[in-house]
């Protein structure tokens, strides 16, 4: 039986598009109170906490508001992230490197650091951090993206084992080819790149963001209570080859 999320407060970053937007919709459909965070407006009639998750000031402000308004947090979906143009080292400036790491990795660390004390007080809390197949193998992005996603997996494992005995669970999702605005370039023109990606994927297709949202809901539910510090690929078999 599906779990009731009615009493749960769920934070989702990257909520305005793609996977984050699908997560927001599914959690809301399942009764959760959702705190939607993005630097862009969210195309739904719901309250948006608008700002840049890589900025410490914004995270500080966000959690002040969360404490005042909800005074609890049950589930955090660290979903916001950006691609790096598949650039190798020689084409990656130090600024670009730092920006990718700040947006993809440090934002997650800052949010975890704020949410964790609230969760520890509740003796319960769940993190679902967005990694990628680029967190497991090379070639899913450039050097900065791949480094950031590998680091998210390491951070999540350590977070989990440091606090598992105190009611905290942290896991990563590692998506493969998901059809979202992030990959719009692959579908541009005759969509040759998108066709190539589908061809290279054992399942021979792209996935919809809603499929990643379904996995998120499972990892955020008590049905997955024994899944700790894991990376769950949802990649049509890409990393199984």
Binding site for ligand NAI (CB under 6 A): 14, 16-20, 38-40, 52-54, 79-82, 103, 130, 132, 175, 177-178, 180-183, 209
Place of tokens 């993809």: 104
Q: Which of 70, 86, 145, 226 is catalytic?
A: 145
Tokens describing residue 52: 């840049």
- 226 labelled catalytic: no
Rounded Cα distance between 157 and 56, Å, is 23
Place of tokens 């890589």: 54
Q: Which is nearer to ligand NAI, 51 or 229 (CB)?
A: 51
CB of 6 to ligand NAI, least distance (A): 26
| β strands within 142-219, DSSP E | 168-175
Count CA within 13 A, CB hemisphere, residue 207.
23
Q: Which is nearer to ligand NAI, 33 or 79 (CB)?
A: 79
DSSP state, 132? Answer: -
CB of 186 to ligand NAI, least distance (A): 9
Q: Which is nearer to ligand NAI, 166 or 195 (CB)?
A: 195
Q: Which is nearer to ligand NAI, 182 or 198 (CB)?
A: 182
Q: Are 132 and 175 in contact (CB under 8 A)?
A: yes
CB of 45 to ligand NAI, least distance (A): 17
- Nearest CA-CA partner of 63 in 106, 72, 120: 72
CB of 153 to ligand NAI, least distance (A): 12
Rounded Cα distance between 131 and 134, Å, is 7
Catalytic positions: 145
């Amino acid at each position: 039986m599906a779990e009731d999320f009615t009493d749960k407060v769920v934070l989702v970053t990257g909520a305005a598009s793609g996977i984050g937007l699908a997560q927001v919709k599914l959690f809301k459909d399942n009764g959760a109170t959702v705190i939607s965070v993005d630097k862009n407006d969210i195309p739904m009639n719901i309250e948006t906490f608008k700002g840049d998750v890589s900025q410490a000031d914004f995270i500080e402000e966000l959690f002040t508001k969360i404490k005042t308004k909800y005074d609890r947090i049950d589930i955090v979906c660290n979903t916001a992230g950006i691609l790096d143009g598949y650039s190798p080292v020689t084409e990656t400036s130090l600024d670009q490197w730092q920006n990718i790491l700040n947006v993809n990795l440090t934002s997650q660390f800052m949010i975890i650091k704020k949410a964790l004390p609230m969760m520890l007080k509740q003796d319960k809390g769940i993190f679902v951090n967005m990694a990628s197949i680029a967190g497991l193998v090379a070639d899913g992005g450039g050097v900065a993206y791949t480094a950031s996603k590998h680091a998210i997996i390491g951070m999540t494992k350590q977070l989990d084992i440091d606090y598992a005995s105190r009611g905290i669970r942290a896991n990563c999702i590692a998506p493969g080819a998901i059809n979202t605005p992030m990959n719009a370039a692959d579908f541009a023109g005759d969509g040759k790149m998108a066709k190539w990606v589908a061809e290279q994927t054992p399942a021979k297709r792209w996935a919809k963001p809603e499929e990643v949202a379904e996995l998120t809901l499972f990892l955020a539910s008590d049905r997955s209570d024994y899944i700790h510090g894991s990376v769950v690929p949802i990649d049509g078999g890409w990393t199984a080859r």
